[in-house]
A and B are shown apart, each in its own frame.
Chain A
Amino acid sequence: MHNRKTHMAERPLSPHLSIWKWGPHMLVSILHRVTGDGLALVGLGVLVWWLGAIASGPDAYATFSDIMTSPLGYIVLVGLSWSFFSHMCSGLRHFVMDLGAGYELDTNRIWSIASPILGIVLTAGFWALVLYA
Chain B
Amino acid sequence: MGNGTSIGRVRGLGPAHHGAHHWLLQRFTAVGNLLLVLWFVASLVMMQDLGYAAVREWLSKPLSATAMALLLVSTFWHARLGLQVLVEDYVHTPGNKFAALLLLNFAALGGAAFSIFCVVRIALGAA
Q: Is the CB of A54 within 8 A of B52?
A: yes
- Known A40-B82, A54-B118; judge A84-B37 contact (CB<8 A): yes
Cβ < 8 Å to B, chain A residues 51-87: 51-52, 54-58, 61-62, 65, 84
Q: Does B30 reach chain A (CB closer than 8 Å)?
A: yes
Q: Does B3 reach chain A (CB closer than 8 Å)?
A: yes
Which residues from A are CB-within-8-Å of B37? 84, 88
Q: How far is the CA of A126 from the CA of B83 in the complex (A)?
A: 27
Which residues from A are CB-within-8-Å of B118? 48, 51-52, 54-55
Q: Is the CB of A37 within 8 A of B52?
A: no
Q: Is the CB of B121 within 8 A of A55?
A: yes
The number of chain B residues touching the other chain, given as a range, is 35 or more
Contact with A along B62-106 (1 / 0, CB 8 A): 000000100010011001001100100000000000000000000
Q: Does B18 reach chain A (CB closer than 8 Å)?
A: no
Which residues from B are CB-within-8-Å of A52? 114-115, 118
Chain B nearest CB, measured from A11 CB (Å): 7
Which residues from B are CB-within-8-Å of A56? 127
Q: How far is the CA of A44 from the CA of B76 in the complex (A)?
A: 8
Q: Does A98 reach chain B (CB closer than 8 Å)?
A: yes
Q: Is the CB of B119 within 8 A of A44?
A: no
Q: Does A27 reach chain B (CB closer than 8 Å)?
A: no
Which residues from B are CB-within-8-Å of A8? 13
Which residues from B are CB-within-8-Å of A21? none
Which residues from B are CB-within-8-Å of A62? 52
Q: Is the CB of B13 within 8 A of A11?
A: yes
Q: CB < 8 Å: which of B41, B79, B127 contacts A39? A: B79
Q: How far is the CA of A104 from the CA of B27 in the complex (A)?
A: 23
Chain B nearest CB, measured from A104 CB (Å): 23
Can you offer 25 A-B residue contacts whose CB atoms are under 8 A? A1-B3, A4-B1, A7-B1, A8-B13, A36-B79, A36-B82, A37-B86, A40-B79, A40-B83, A44-B111, A45-B111, A47-B115, A48-B118, A51-B59, A51-B122, A52-B118, A54-B56, A54-B59, A55-B118, A55-B119, A84-B37, A84-B41, A91-B30, A92-B34, A126-B41
Q: Does A2 reach chain B (CB closer than 8 Å)?
A: yes
Name A3's closest neighbour in chain B (CB-CB). B1
